[in-house]
Amino acid sequence: MLCQNIVKFQCLLIILNFVDISVAKFIRGKDGWSHEIDLEEENGLRIKWKNSPIDGNGERWLTMEVFAKTNGYIGLGFSPHGGMAGGDMVVGWVDSNGRPHLKDFYATANDVPILDNSQNYELLSAYEDEKGTRIQFQRKWDTCDENDMKIVTDTMRLIWAYSPFDPVERDNAVTNLQWHGSKSRGALSVFLLDDPFAAKFPDENDPHVKHWDMTMDDSLIEAEHTTYFCKIIKMPQLDKKHQMIGFKPILTPENKKNVHHITFYECYIPPEHGNTASVFEKHLNTTGGRCYTPNMPPEWTKHCVTFLFVWVAGSEGEMLPEHVGSALGEEHGGASYFMLETHYDNPELRTFRDNSGVRIYYTDKLRPNDGSVMLMGYRITPFLLLPPMQKNIVTYGICSAECTDMTIPEDGINVIISLVHAHLSGRKIRLRHFRNGKELPPIAEDNQYDFNYQQSRSIKNEIKILRGDELMVECEYETVDNNRIVLGGLSTKQEMCQTFFMYYPRINLMQCTSQYEFHDFFKGLNIDEVSGSVLNSIKMPYNPHLLPADEQAFDPPDNAKELEESGDGPLFKSMFDQLKIEAPNKWKGMTVGDYLKQANWTDAKFGKEVESKWRNGRHYAYCTGHGRQRIPLKNHIIPFPDIKEPLSKPVSNVCRIQSGANSTSNNNQERNIRFNDSILKAVSGSVKLGTTIFDTSIMALVVITWIV
């Protein structure tokens, strides 16, 4: 056996190759580790990590351990997009003489990595035997090295690789660093700084905890890129109040890649408008069907709207904090009937049957607070329009101060869990928070959003939203590689801009959203007037006071769902082809679709002008209670928030106090000497090592032989 240390490891990925996040099993850490990822079965790899408290110098450290089924090198690193370019990586191995090696690299392209002049990873331990190699190291969150990625709270991409071959280090050079092959590499997204779980999943032998499995019934999923499948479910008969305390997915193994998200909606009809049981009981005898089609019963869309929870690909589920639960049973302030909605993303266009679903944990050991889930953001509508070939374009969904003033109690509500959501073009999402014109710290934020990893985040220091607060979901998108316009919609090829959060106490507000005001939307495109019968389907221009009396009690569904349910799928996908321009005269008679296709989107200035006009334009405000009740607003058209005092983020002083590169280099050399001494003491009893002294000083040159 060889007991060795390798200080740094980061990955050698020449070809961008993602590990499907569904393969990675995220486990609650044990033995002092806060996080663990088990890739051993599929990829022969296991990764653990934890974060230290802030030390006396105001710094925090990330400690990691990696095990790989190899006796060659291991690489592990951080990447902005999951590939080599821009990556910060470390490579380590134990040679045939039992000597450990570890070097800090970075990459500027999908090419051979470059040795970093500043070696910022510290070896803690290493162990190699016939089963494989295990290495443990630590690094600062912020190394103040421009070639190292700063560890942040955003989604981060880990890249990894390993090889059966050892490189050779001699005379400040590394040779024989052979390509790892196509099967021993990958990338995955993680939250390095967050504990993704509020609490452990329960012991299912606990007499106070029951579970309820809700799955599809061997449902047939057709060969289409996007399918939404829905069914109505009734909760188990209970003799007293219970609360949901958590959930986790149940995924059919062969369909994991296709199940994008599962949403569990409460179905509720306010007593003054009917009876929930009389409407939904009859639907329990069906196995469900395609959502948002002409065949979907209209009451499903109209009244199944409050979220009990949302599961999205990449998440292992969620347990609520021990002081919060979600009430079950309409008589207890929750719901008795639910709609299970599963979104399938099927780019391979295969036909298959599915039994995926969720397991809900619930208890009669009541917690002091009933919580609920609220949605904020931009409504799902084609009026969320992303021009092609844009490096950055921003959309805003506003929750008006009037809505929170009418619905939130004087003591406020407490946010405990958040989840941001967009589709493939999404790059950054944040939920901004304003009070009397002053911007407060964001409630949720991810500046490295990954569509394939949408784990909710527990908020340890609960955030309070008060009556009269204004909130805004801000989504940044990139469409550089698109040669088509992206519209808001249900498909993964379309877009969304949303934030979900769990809060307590439960109030009668389940959505607080907005979308661009109709005329201001078209003015942003330099169009003054349009016409088309399709506008009747989506009630545009929107004025709730002009709706028929029997429709004024409820907010309309999102435009995208209304168009899908109108019975003509292409009508939704080409809504702007159904609208004719009436003014200005130079474009009169042209369809909006043709106008958008001929627009000069390659002119970045033009794209920014459109975005600026939308940003400074007005929004329709929607304030929606449970069961889609419309909460009447005096002002259903609102301006962009008046931000009198924007948030100024504090700048870390960690790097300011360092005296420069020479000081950093000297510190690194001193650390290496210190760790060399501790390593020798740790392995002094090893027959393989004897008293061999090894050098981990900073290398000035690296020569790499690479096989592509």
Q: Which residues are catalytic?
A: 228, 421
Closest Cα to residue 287, out of 214, 211, 361, 213?
A: 214
Task: With beta carbons less than 8 A apart as the criterion, state whether 3 and 680 touch.
Answer: no
- Which residues are 666's β-sheet partners? none
In DSSP terms, 129 is beta-bridged to 132
The Cα angle at residue 500 between residues 494 and 505, in degrees rounded to 5: 160
DSSP string of 487-505, one letter each residue: EBSSSTTSB-EEEEEEEES
Under the phi-then-psi rule, with left for phi > 0, alpha for psi from -120 to 50, and beta for the rest, what region is 130? alpha
Strand 88-94 with 100-106, pairing: antiparallel
Among 374, 378, 389, smallest CA distance to 422 is for 378
The strand ranges marked E within 193-323 are 209-215, 219-221, 226-234, 242-250, 259-267, 289-290, 304-312, 318-319
CA distances from 224 to 20, 295, 424 (A): 21, 18, 18
DSSP state of 455: -
Q: What phi and psi values does residue 47 have, to the nearest 5 degrees? A: -125, 135
- The C-alpha atoms of residue 171 and residue 589 are separated, in whole angstroms, by 75
- Quick one: CA torsion of 303, 307, 313, 319, rounded to 10 degrees? -150
The answer to whether residues 105 and 76 touch, using CB atoms and an 8 Å cutoff, is no
Residue 6 is encoded by which pair of tokens?
């390798």
Q: Rounded distance, CA 378 to CA 395, Å?
A: 8
- 403: left (phi > 0), else alpha (psi -120 to 50), else beta? alpha
For residue 303 the two structure tokens come to 């009244």
First-residue to last-residue Cα distance in the chain: 33
**Amino acid identity at 684:** S
Q: How far apart are CA 643 and CA 611, in angstroms?
A: 18
Partner residues linked to 418 by β-bridges = 457, 501
Cα-trace Rg, the chain: 28
Cα separation, 74 vs 164, in Å, equals 9
Q: Which amino acid is at 46?
A: R
